[in-house]
């Protein structure tokens, strides 16, 4: 069993992920057990883009991947019970969370230029996850069978008071960069017992559903 791996993303880490395509006005909405709330924060102004980013709503996110489907595919030890969303000029996301508000799966949408190499995009994305010189790539390779291009990459960070693992599937599809991310932080080791081959397969399965419904 590999149920224990999809658990911990801190609020700070989620904000780090948004640095990849951060923008001036991000709004967020949370849906958990039928209730919703909205927030707004400010982040640096990005370079303008003409690519249409999908607007994340609770219904849109669950139309791409339902909570039941996410639980079935990822099999988290603590089940996904809600979806949070965030939208900005150059970025939108669906965050699948457990009862403790840990983000078990971050689904992110951003522009993808036709001249960009998918491996470059994936490497730049995962570098922002930890943004630490002690980060090392564990595996990095092309993936077939999903999107126009796809790249799987994982990294780890050790040293000081921080340890963590990040696993990302980065996909180019229809002018969008679609990323699926899970992070384990601070020595939990929840991802270390699961092979990248297994996690990659689960991410590809989820991504295929998502793209087919866009």
Per-residue model confidence as pLDDT tens digits over 3-35: 544 444 443 344 344 444 333 333 455 555 444
Q: Which residue has the higher pLDDT, 82 or 194?
A: 82
Which has the closest alpha carbon to 94: 66, 69, 68, 131? 66
pTM for the whole structure: 0.79
Task: Calculate mean pLDDT across residues 73-78.
Answer: 87
pLDDT digits (tens, 9 = 90+) for 99-154: 988 888 999 999 998 889 999 999 999 988 888 888 899 999 999 999 999 999 99
Burial of 64 (0-12, 13-18, 19+ CB in 10 A): buried
Percent of the chain surpassing pLDDT 90: 51
What residue spans define the domains of the chain?
3-212
Task: Calculate mean pLDDT across residues 165-187.
Answer: 89
Burial of 57 (0-12, 13-18, 19+ CB in 10 A): middle
Task: Calculate mean pLDDT across residues 46-53.
Answer: 53
Residue 129 has what pLDDT? 84
């Amino acid at each position: 069993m590999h149920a224990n791996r999809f658990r911990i993303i801190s609020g700070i880490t989620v904000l780090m992920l948004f640095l990849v395509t951060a923008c001036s006005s991000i709004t967020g909405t949370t849906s958990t057990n039928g209730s919703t709330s909205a927030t707004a924060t400010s982040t640096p102004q990005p370079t303008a883009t003409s690519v249409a980013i999908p607007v994340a709503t609770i219904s849109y996110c669950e139309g791409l991947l339902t909570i039941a489907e996410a639980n079935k595919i990822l099999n988290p030890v603590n089940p996904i019970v809600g979806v949070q969303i965030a939208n900005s000029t150059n970025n939108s996301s669906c965050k699948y969370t457990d009862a403790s508000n840990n983000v078990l799966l971050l689904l992110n949408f951003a522009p993808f230029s036709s001249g960009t190499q998918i491996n470059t995009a994936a490497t730049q994305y995962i570098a922002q996850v930890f943004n630490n010189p002690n980060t090392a790539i564990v595996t990095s390779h092309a993936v077939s069978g999903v999107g126009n291009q796809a790249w799987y990459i994982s990294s780890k960070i050790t040293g000081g008071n921080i340890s963590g693992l990040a696993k990302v599937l980065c996909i180019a599809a229809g002018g969008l960069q679609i990323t699926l991310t899970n992070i384990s932080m601070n020595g939990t080791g929840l991802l270390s017992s699961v092979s990248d081959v297994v996690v990659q397969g689960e991410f590809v399965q989820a991504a295929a559903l998502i793209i087919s419904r866009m």
